[in-house]
Amino acid sequence: MAAPLLHLRDVALTFGGQPLLEAAEIAVSAGERVCLVGRNGSGKSTLLKIAAGLVDPDSAERFVQPGATIRYLPQEPDFTGFKTSLAYVEAGIGPGDDHYRAQYLIEELGLTGEEDPATMSGGESRRAALARVLAPEPDILLLDEPTNHLDLPVIEWLEEELKSLRSAMVLISHDRRFLTSLSRATIWLDRGQTRRVERGFGEFEAWRDEVLAQEELDRHKLDRKIAREEDWLRYGVSARRTRNQRRLGELHSMRDSRRTARHAVGSVKLEASEAQTSGKLVIEALNVSKAYDSNAVVKDLSLRIARGDRIGIVGPNGAGKTTLINLLTGQLKPDIGKVKLGVSLEMVTLDQRRESLDPATPLGDALTGGGSDQVMVGGQPRHVIAYMKDFLFQPLQRRTPVGALSGGERGRLMLARALAKPSNLLVLDEPTNDLDIETLDLLQELLADYQGTVLLVSHDRDFIDRVVSSTLISDGDGIWTEFAGGYSDMLAQRGRGVGAKARVVIPKPAPEAVKPAAAAPAPASSKRKLSFNEKHALETLPKRVEVLQAEAAKLNVALAGDLFTRDPKLFAKATARLEEVTREIAQAEERWLVLEMLREEIGA
């Protein structure tokens, strides 16, 4: 690795009597793109603040190349003293920087520059903060959750903008697709220490699982060695007292090592409480329209949702995703048209803003409803402490006010409340906000095994790909279009992403150019499961191939006769269709083969 622009090593910090960081290290050279990953609460944001020089650790060595410029993106920017968003952005520009770039970034991020920081929304604040750190094009960018509060068009724009910069970057994010697209190296912060691998995030999870498996093997070997030494201590001969004392000291040392070792944080135990099976028809919308004043949110939408469907709803902020959810679930009446709900529906909703959580309510009462130490989970009582542990809460947190919890902890609390209720229709409005990657994995597995119906609103492209069976996307002006498959499948069929309306995008002429990216499965790991979409493809692709092969056989018969003499135009049309069918058969067979190999690998 080239000489680092920033080198932070031997970082130690104790928080609340417990060591948060122990001998942690970050090194970034010119042009490097590094992602910093770890569980919620592992100290990622703190380590990034130390790298930025904003937090003093208990001990550390910090080196910054003389003359190198660093810009840090905080999760909660401070707008004190600034009258407009443009003034805030321009304050981050140095004497030799391009002042026009501030206005350019403000406009690209959908702001005017005249916004009052005191009244800006979370999304507007994040956009202004991004413009401020990007405007000077620094040598090093330290970005803490840059995609928080952003919608898909801005996330996709930000990816392309960061790719075009020459700045070195350290990224913290829970957005898998964002990290995979940008990172070239990964630093894993785990139990206070850092491990670095010269691979992007796409290869990190398989490597992490190998490391944890080796740790478990080493721990097992140590346990066996301790057992052997204890057996010798009880039954061994007492001669050679000096040597025996040495072995006794080694035994005490091994015991201390085993006792003080910091083990990997446990996994959240997610299990949805399922109600009785709903009717086959869950929701049917017929020519539904809804508008506020002259602004059409939904226009002439007809949609049929059957039991077991998983519908992903995507679009820019303000497109009306939450309104659409409320229309489909009967919580809001349409101006025109009709929504019919199926029989025996039991719906559970996870709201986007966590509004149902009273900040003053203790964590335990938020789960039990107060006045009890029991939580009803699927109609069965469970002690609140046991249920809290399933979601990685400590017993001492039972009396902690909800307002004192971190964003990730509030997200886990909302999941705990929602999943305790029996349901056959899950409505999830931005469920991935503030959840760490490991919890997202488990939520994905839960939804893949869930027997009911799911309506999902999310800006997380990777999560949508792994969960949904079809994607409903806003085309603007109240028009919603449904595409089979996840976000990548929609991208291949539509030829452009969510943000394509705002800027000129030339659709790719052939879907094959992007098909492999949509079809490629994620690297298998010990926790990997086939997504619902992948399971569905494995079951349906053979039938699809049979249908296509039958069509190809009919076309071959037609072309073998005198069709060319009778109708040259029809002959040319049939020939073109045969080529298209042949190509579709090859793609379907290749897709099925990839998924079947993945299924066998996971099974092994």
Phi, psi for 159 (deg, rounded to 5): -55, -50
Closest listed residue to residue 198, CA positions, set 30, 72, 28, 63: 28
Spans of the chain, pLDDT less than 50: 237-243, 263, 500-527
Entry field: residues in the chain? 604
CATH of domain 4-204: 3.40.50.300
Give residue 558's pLDDT: 78
**Using an 8 Å Cβ cutoff, are 173 and 146 in contact?**
yes
- Kindly state the tokens that stand for 87: 């003034």
Instruction: Encode 387-414 in three state secondary structure.
Output: HHHHCCCCHHHHHCEHHHCCHHHHHHHH
**Using an 8 Å Cβ cutoff, are 493 and 470 in contact?**
no
Give residue 516's pLDDT: 41
As a whole number of angstroms, the distance between CA 477 and CA 140 comes to 41
Give residue 585's pLDDT: 85
- Kindly state the tokens that stand for 447: 């939804």
As a whole number of angstroms, the distance between CA 14 and CA 34 comes to 25
Closest listed residue to residue 313, CA positions, set 496, 536, 483, 519: 483
How wide is the angle at C-alpha 48 spanned by C-alphas 43 and 50, nearest 5°? 95
As a whole number of angstroms, the distance between CA 283 and CA 301 comes to 13
Give residue 275's pLDDT: 59
Give residue 256's pLDDT: 64
CA atoms within 13 A on the CB side of 337: 21
What residues pair up with 475 in beta bridges, in sequence order?
A: none
Give residue 24's pLDDT: 93
**Using an 8 Å Cβ cutoff, are 46 and 182 in contact?**
no
Q: How far apart are the first and last CA of the chain?
A: 37
Q: Is 532-603 assigned to CATH 3.20.20.70?
A: no
Q: How many CB atoms lie within 10 A of CB 385?
A: 15
Return the axis-axis angle of helices 532-560 and 437-449, rounded to nearest 10°.
60
Which residue do the tokens 């919603």 mark? 480
As a whole number of angstroms, the distance between CA 34 and CA 168 comes to 8
- CA quadruple 451, 453, 457, 458: dihedral, nearest 10: 20
- For 228, 242, 258, 562, the CA distances from 251, given in Å and listed in that order, are 10, 14, 11, 90
Which residue do the tokens 């209720």 mark? 421
**Strand-strand pairing, 185-190 and 33-37:** parallel
**Strand-strand pairing, 281-292 and 336-341:** antiparallel
| pLDDT tens, residue by residue, 129-146 | 999 999 999 999 999 999
Give residue 230's pLDDT: 64
Helices (H), 56-99: 85-90
**Using an 8 Å Cβ cutoff, are 48 and 170 in contact?**
yes
pTM of the model: 0.69
**The 18-29 sheet, strands edge to edge:** 18-29, 4-15, 59-64
As a whole number of angstroms, the distance between CA 368 and CA 416 comes to 11
Sign of the dihedral through C-alpha 451, 453, 456, 461: positive
**Using an 8 Å Cβ cutoff, are 66 and 234 in contact?**
no
Spell out the domain ranges in the chain: 4-204, 207-260, 532-603
Residue 117, phi-psi category: left (phi > 0), alpha (psi -120 to 50), beta (remainder): alpha
Give residue 354's pLDDT: 53
Helices (H), 450-514: 461-467, 487-494
Give residue 534's pLDDT: 75
As a whole number of angstroms, the distance between CA 4 and CA 23 comes to 18
Closest listed residue to residue 292, CA positions, set 341, 316, 326, 315: 326
As a whole number of angstroms, the distance between CA 157 and CA 219 comes to 46
The H or E element containing residue 70 is strand 70-73
**Using an 8 Å Cβ cutoff, are 154 and 499 in contact?**
yes
Do 4-204 and 532-603 have matching folds? no
Secondary structure of the chain: what % helix, strand, coil (to 5)? 45, 20, 35
Residue 171, phi-psi category: left (phi > 0), alpha (psi -120 to 50), beta (remainder): beta
- For 252, 342, 346, 367, 392, the CA distances from 421, given in Å and listed in that order, are 49, 19, 9, 11, 19
Give residue 212's pLDDT: 82
- Amino acid occupying residue 232: W
| pLDDT tens, residue by residue, 466-510 | 889 999 999 888 999 999 999 989 888 888 777 643 333 333 344
As a whole number of angstroms, the distance between CA 354 and CA 11 comes to 35
E strand segments, 175-270 = 185-190, 193-197
